Amino acid sequence: MRSVLILNGPNLNLLGTRQPEVYGKTTLADVEAACVAHGAEKGIEIACFQSNHEGALIDAIHAAKGVHAGIVINAGAYTHTSIALMDAISSVELPVVEVHLSNIHARETFRHTSYIAPVAIGQICGFGLQGYLMALDALVQRFAG
């Protein structure tokens, strides 16, 4: 059975309580449970990892090669700052879908730039929890194609 890594970056451990007007009331546990359930429906295993530390996220990306068939990543603020995450993603040669709960293009200008997007197969933003499920569907379609 194929597996996908759901990778969440800084401050996403605070989902449900952090700026609910922007990110909603869905918790990270809700996101992970929904991804696991959706993955089971699609015949894929889901592994979840969250860290507030850039190096730990890079290590998780490196460790995914040869273990997972793809990655769904919400890199949080590192999306807009981390060339190191971009390089890690391009190094492992796995399909990656970038996800954001909010529409980053409707927010502050600095959030409009993504270092992840150039090395991802696509970006989904603004759909809340549903964006993660859409990303999983995109990967499943990529695996089939």
Q: Which residues are catalytic?
A: 23, 100
CA separation for the pair 144, 127 (Å, rounded): 24
**Is residue 9 within 8 Å of residue 77, measured between CB atoms?**
yes
**Is residue 25 within 8 Å of residue 66, measured between CB atoms?**
no
At position 1, the amino acid (one-letter code) is M
CA separation for the pair 89, 98 (Å, rounded): 11
Q: What are phi and psi of 94, to 5 degrees?
A: -115, 150
